[in-house]
Amino acid sequence: MSKFWKYFLAVVIGGLVSAFIITMGVFLLMGGIVAASGNSEVVVKNSSILVMDLNSPIAERADNDPFSNVIAEMMGQPKMVGLNKILASIKKAKEDDRIKGIYMESGLLTAGFATIDEIRNALLDFKKSGKFVYSFASIYTQKAYYLASAADKVYLNPSGMLEFKGIASSHTFFKGALEKLGVEVQVFKYGQFKSAVEPFIQDKMSDANRLQTETYVGSIWNHTLKGISASRGLGIDALNKIADDFAMLRDDDYLKNCGLIDGLVYKDEVLDMLKELAGTATDKDLNAVTIGQYADAAVPNMKKNVAKDKIAIIYAEGEITDGEEEGEGIVSGPLSRTIRKARRDESVKAIVLRVNSPGGSGLASEVIWREMQLAKEAKPVVVSMGDVAASGGYYISCAADTIIAQPNTLTGSIGVFGMVPNTSGLMKKIGVTTDRVVTNKMSDLPSINRAFTEEEKALWQSYVNHFYEVFIGRCADGRKTTSELINEVGEGRVWSGENAIAINLVDKLGGIDDAIATAARMANLENYRVVEMPEMVSPFERMMKELSGGAIAKIERAMLGEEYRVLKTINTLKSGSPIQARMPYELSVY
């Protein structure tokens, strides 16, 4: 009996200690969140430098989510930064007399090429003010160097590395592994270029897939070379020669002598240069302000825009999924409600939909398309494309009055597919059997442990074909052309924004500011203000929402980093619509 009480007391004490530790952990976490969400006024001193540290993931829109910031800090991950805040800060700094110039550290930039172009063009516009832009890094990735090349001076650590080698796009195929496992992937698609299914049924790229990849990769590389050439004064042939030489592994002086950089220096030496430019004594610290601080800072003598008329920017970023509740990526219900709200708001005179999506559920895309169509009937609607607006991302864009893309945006991919695995071979190998009772001949369709009958295959393919006809019909109506002409540039083919101009998938090249200016002209607006939708929730509301469920996704993203996208795609395909309008693959162009 004495042992019972000993163990009982140990359990009780252990439980109390655990509860105390958990409670303290929650309080510490909440305290960190409250501290992270504090809105103390930012004081920008005269002769300040705007510091742009872009060694972080860049989303279309920053939400100042304190939970994400705390989780990122706990995991040692960089905090997410919003493209909207970056662009707004650069634009504001151009007119702010207190800001003397911009110092940029972006050597490990991970953004897409179109996002980089948005920032790069903003920097080029900033330089028109006569203010300087300096860039420094210990390591420049190729994308990071493309951005840095817009600076007046580009510096590299003497022991650093600079990647400049041309663009590659690699594809992985699983057919051989699946055959060894005894798994057959039953594929239904429309479009010779719709290559999302190729990794499961082939061991190399099809001729069609190779052609489309060569086309858009070549387009992106040529655009990159033109930008660097204009900024650095180097010829295209010279840049290709540098890329062929694999500059990253050449001797220290190679990069300077070939003209890619302005010097090999240490950070303290760059800071001394900045002090001289800003008129700061060498024994004093620079007056520096970060993007995160400066985005919300007031500018003296700059009047707040209180115009009644508005242009609404609605953000659509991520994979497209079905649902009514807020979630990761683009969820059909919440986005549709946001578009509908903007349509019904009489003070909103035009809508800009900012799309950065590889697609996803075909049904969800159709639901969003309907709201876009209704919005266009009520007021001007312009689409601004980010890094990618393809397949379902193009589906939700095609109804707009005007579509604007960056030259290196990936778009098109007008096609659909469905996949159902047949694991009967695997089950046989490991000795697993199944049996079933059905009331009708297709009651168990789709089943992953038997092959489709010929009748079932024909029925499934017919459904895919029908959805494709609907898809190209939507595109034809939106682009004021015929389904036949859309089919000629469709069939799942991916195009760069520059390519898409000539085939009537895009109206003009430009960024988000161009889209806003276009919307204003269409609505005959001279005095207006821009509002972002949906409205951001308060830090407390955000915290409670994250603690009620979204925290798991935040932790997964922080722990998995770039691999989180792969996990999310797998989960989406497992539980999503049987018909997918998405990019051919998880694209990584580097």
> Of residues 391, 413, 496, 577, which has the active-site annotation?
391
CA distance 107 to 88: 22
Q: Give the E-state strand segments of 366-506 in sequence order.
A: 381-390, 402-405, 410-412, 416-422, 494-496
**Interior CA angle at 411 toward 83 and 228, to 5°?**
60
Instruction: Look at residues 517, 521, 497 and name the one whose alpha carbon lies nearest to residue 509.
Output: 497
**Can you tell me the distance from the alpha carbon of 527 to that of 525, in angstroms, rounded to the nearest whole number?**
6
What number of CA atoms fall less than 13 Å from residue 571's CA on the CB side?
12
Number of H helices, E strands in the chain: 23, 22
The string of DSSP codes covering 334-386 is HHHHHHHHHHH-TTEEEEEEEEEE-EEEHHHHHHHHHHHHHHHHHS-EEEEEE
For the chain, the C-alpha Rg in angstroms (whole number) is 27
Separation CA 139–CA 97 (nearest Å):
32
d(CA 122, CA 95): 13
329: left (phi over 0), alpha (psi -120 to 50) or beta: left
Q: Is-catalytic flag, 194?
A: yes
Task: Please say whether the beta carbons of 90 and 118 come within 8 A.
Answer: no
Start-to-end C-alpha separation, the chain? 69
The HSE-up count of residue 354 (CA atoms within 13 Å, CB side) is 27
What tokens were used for 123? 């920097």
- Neighbour-count burial of 310, counting CB atoms closer than 10 A to its CB (0-12 exposed, 13-18 middle, 19+ buried): buried
Kind and range of the H or E run holding 159: strand 153-162
Nearest to 559 by CA among 107, 51, 159, 75: 75
Q: Which helix (DSSP H) or strand (DSSP E) does residue 330 occupy?
A: strand 330-331
The CA distance from 117 to 97, in Å, is: 26
- Per the annotation, the verdict on 56 as an active-site residue is no
Q: How far apart are CA 566 and CA 492, in angstroms?
A: 21
Set 194, 310, 349, 554: catalytic member:
194
Tokens coding 392: 């379902």
Q: What is the residue-wise DSSP string for 300-316?
A: TT------S-EEEEEEE
Catalytic residues: 194, 391
